[in-house]
């Protein structure tokens, strides 16, 4: 697993995805404080630090994503064809900005960059890319529309994160970072974007490699345990769902409490002032 060809690409991509989730959480909390006129000095500093991380890492995410796609083209070509809904090898491969995969007609209806996928994989707009039909039917992923939509949602969010953070960076450079309330509101809400991109990216990667659990070697259908029954699997899934739902609720509750409380501990402040008073009396 560690030395398989996609490990490093995926590790870097997921690592940057985690940093983006962190940076956008900090941005969201401090944008909220700024909109409420609370902890202004501290929030402006924190916002700028998190924005610097967001600018560098959102651009980095495009680079690692592009590199991961190159790796997929080489090592998991059926997945690449599924990510872009590309059926026919003889045709130049377009790259879709968004669209809908029509499995019956074997085409994608949507807005595309003609030859975009050919260019990304071969640096040539006219070079064909291997399509889904060139793989035996039992070796192709089946949930084509879901794979296409999840992948395109991740890329669209990636572009939005770049646009948002670079635009805010320009405002910072112009000395107008905290003047647009709509921009601060956009950052409050943008906390959800990296979370969604991380989930759908993972869905696209995992659904795209079906029907294999180990690519080209072991099918998912052959990887089923002979001793664990379907009911046992269902039971543990339900238990996991409940436990994670509980942890999620606890996380939201504690996070909300911390945000409402703010960065300063008032008790501690009072005690510090009190100690200062005592010290001045002693002096």
- Residues lying near ligand HEM in the complex (CB under 6 A): 6, 10, 13-14, 17, 20, 61-62, 65-66, 68-69, 72, 154-155, 157-158, 161, 194, 197-198, 201-202, 205, 208
Q: Which residue lies nearer to ligand HEM by CB, 34 or 84?
A: 84
Q: Which residue lies nearer to ligand HEM by CB, 14 or 213?
A: 14
Minimal CA–CA distance to 100: which of 108, 112, 90, 92? 108
Q: Which residue lies nearer to ligand HEM by CB, 14 or 143?
A: 14
The least CB distance from residue 53 to ligand HEM, in Å, is 13
The least CB distance from residue 211 to ligand HEM, in Å, is 15
Burial class (CB in 10 A: 0-12, 13-18, 19+), 39: middle
The least CB distance from residue 233 to ligand HEM, in Å, is 21
Minimal CA–CA distance to 145: which of 196, 98, 194? 98
The least CB distance from residue 234 to ligand HEM, in Å, is 24
The least CB distance from residue 264 to ligand HEM, in Å, is 31
Q: Which residue lies nearer to ligand HEM by CB, 43 or 208?
A: 208
Q: Which residue lies nearer to ligand HEM by CB, 115 or 158?
A: 158
Cα 198 to Cα 69, 189, 234, 279: the distances in Å are 16, 16, 25, 52
Per-position DSSP letters for 136-161, written without gaps between them: -GGGS-S-HHHHHHHHHHHHHHHHHH
- Side-chain-side CA neighbours of 55 within 13 Å: the count stands at 14
- Tell me the angle at which helices 192-208 and 144-173 cross, rounded to the nearest 10 degrees: 150
Question: CA torsion sign, 100 to 203 to 256 to 36?
Answer: negative
The least CB distance from residue 51 to ligand HEM, in Å, is 16
The least CB distance from residue 196 to ligand HEM, in Å, is 8
Phi, psi dihedral angles at 143 (to 5 degrees): -80, 65
Q: Which residue lies nearer to ligand HEM by CB, 34 or 50?
A: 50
Q: Which residue has the tokens 């008790």?
A: 267
Q: Which residue lies nearer to ligand HEM by CB, 27 or 34?
A: 27
**Residue 138 structure tokens:** 């039992």
Relative to beta strand 95-102, strand 212-214 is: unpaired
């Amino acid at each position: 697993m560690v030395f398989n060809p996609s490990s490093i690409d995926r590790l870097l991509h997921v690592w940057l995805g985690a940093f983006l989730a962190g940076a956008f959480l900090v941005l969201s909390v401090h944008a909220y404080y700024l909109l409420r006129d609370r902890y202004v000095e501290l929030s402006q500093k924190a916002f700028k630090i998190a924005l610097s991380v967001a600018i560098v890492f959102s651009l980095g995410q495009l680079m690692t994503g592009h590199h991961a796609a190159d790796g997929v083209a080489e090592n998991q070509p059926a997945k690449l064809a599924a990510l872009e809904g590309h059926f026919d090898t003889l045709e130049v491969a377009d790259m879709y900005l968004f669209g809908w995969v029509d499995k019956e007609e074997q085409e994608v209806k949507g807005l595309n960059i003609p030859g975009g996928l050919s260019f990304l994989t071969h640096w040539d707009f006219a070079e064909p890319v291997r399509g889904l039909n060139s793989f035996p039917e039992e070796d192709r992923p089946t949930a084509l529309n879901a794979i296409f939509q999840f992948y395109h949602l991740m890329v669209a969010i990636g572009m939005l994160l770049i646009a948002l953070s670079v635009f805010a960076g320009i405002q910072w450079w112009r000395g107008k970072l905290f003047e647009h309330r709509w921009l601060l509101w956009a950052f409050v809400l943008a906390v959800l974007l990296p979370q969604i991109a991380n989930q759908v990216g993972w869905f696209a990667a995992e659904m795209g490699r079906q029907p294999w659990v180990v690519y080209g070697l072991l099918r998912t259908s052959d990887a089923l345990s002979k001793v664990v029954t379907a009911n046992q699997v269902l039971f543990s899934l339900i238990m996991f769902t409940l436990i994670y739902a509980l942890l999620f609720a606890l996380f939201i509750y504690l996070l909300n409490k911390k945000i409402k409380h703010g960065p300063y501990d008032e008790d501690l402040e009072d005690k510090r002032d009190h100690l200062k008073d005592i010290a001045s009396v002693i002096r």
